[in-house]
Copies of this chain bind each other. A is one copy, B any other.
């Protein structure tokens, strides 16, 4: 996607001066810490499943990223605060050395939370010093991209911190509130679903701008698309409940074979919480559906977009509804029409999608950016001509291009200046703990 053609330029910050770069660095780092303010010490430690990392680990790992890829080779005589942190806080960069095993991240009480904050501030001080110095003395240019990558990396982990702490706290029968949220308005309904048409043709897909993007968003290349139609808004809880009430989770005919296997395996889980017959975090009380949120439990609101569903559930719903999911190219082409309808992003610590207002304008796409990551029907594969960078940074995205599905658009937990139309998020088809939802698409007649 040639970003200059887009009516809605959603772009990453592009700090040109050393001062701007320092400001940008500080703002991203500070936001991470602001997110943690409501947490108690004990919240930082827990890993509720292998996919989840403790908050403490996220705080340290994002710091490790700057230490390893920026300070290590560039700060004169850099001395790490603790030499074992390289082993403890490396996630998956084999080129940088062995890693402490992922499913045991929650078994490490030390370093303490306070020590991890010391680590952050130790690295911050050195980073700011280094940027300032290189800005004066020359040499910043070659590091700039890595620093901006590090900031974007930290923004990814800001979202993961949210999704992970939500999973952690959801395990607790006390159902704690982490971030307050005003009471939800009464259900009033959402606008009727419209089908917006896009014509057959050859489109440019992927990122070609000079500003930051992740490597997996390029190279820009051509894709030929048949004419298709996109649903004007996200599928809601109310609609998903219709699917459930119609026996959607009991009808193998609407499921992919692996999805049906998940449903059946879910029925054999020891803990009800893990059953695969409703969106994650939903539970029934007095015959009414509730959902756990970071603001505590709330009744399932019919007007909100459905949240925490897997690809399998999105795909099954679409088949049940006589539609399908969009491919990621279709989504990207359609997104050129879409406005950013602000207010749903993470800055407010709301961390929960909003209903589409009943009086939203007709004839256009809504809720494309923010609210929920939208499952596409596209496997996560390299774009034509994609190559990975040399060295450890090359492990950033490329090595995950198997068995994952692309999601697009960003969620209520994504920092606003971290969303792009070409952004390719990716998770396994059975994953539900990210802020995931979907919209419908179909072939044009």
- Contact indicator B112/A41 (Cβ below 8 Å): yes
- Contact indicator B104/A171 (Cβ below 8 Å): yes
- Contact indicator A384/B225 (Cβ below 8 Å): yes
Nearest-Cβ distance from residue A42 to partner chain B, whole angstroms: 4
Complexed CA–CA distance, A443 and B171 (Å):
47
Complexed CA–CA distance, A40 and B45 (Å):
12
Which residues in B have their C-beta under 8 angstroms from that of A43?
109-110
Residue A363 CB within 8 A of the other chain: no
A402 touches which one: B174, B224, B259 (CB < 8 A)? B259
- Contact indicator A381/B377 (Cβ below 8 Å): yes
- Contact indicator A258/B109 (Cβ below 8 Å): no
Interface size on A, residues (CB 8 A): 71
Which residues in B have their C-beta under 8 angstroms from that of A113?
41-42
Nearest-Cβ distance from residue A2 to partner chain B, whole angstroms: 16
- Contact indicator A107/B268 (Cβ below 8 Å): no
Once A253-B94, A399-B256 are accepted as A-B contacts, the answer to whether A224 and B226 lie under 8 Å apart by CB is: no
A42 touches which one: B110, B255, B311, B312 (CB < 8 A)? B110
Complexed CA–CA distance, A56 and B443 (Å):
43
Residue A100 CB within 8 A of the other chain: yes
Which residues in B have their C-beta under 8 angstroms from that of A209?
none
Closest 5 CB pairs of A and B: A379-B379, A42-B109, A94-B252, A107-B171, A43-B109
Q: With A87-B173, A100-B173 given, can you name 13 additional A-B contacts, CB distance below 8 Å?
A: A41-B41, A42-B44, A42-B56, A42-B112, A94-B252, A108-B174, A109-B168, A202-B224, A221-B224, A256-B399, A256-B402, A268-B268, A268-B270
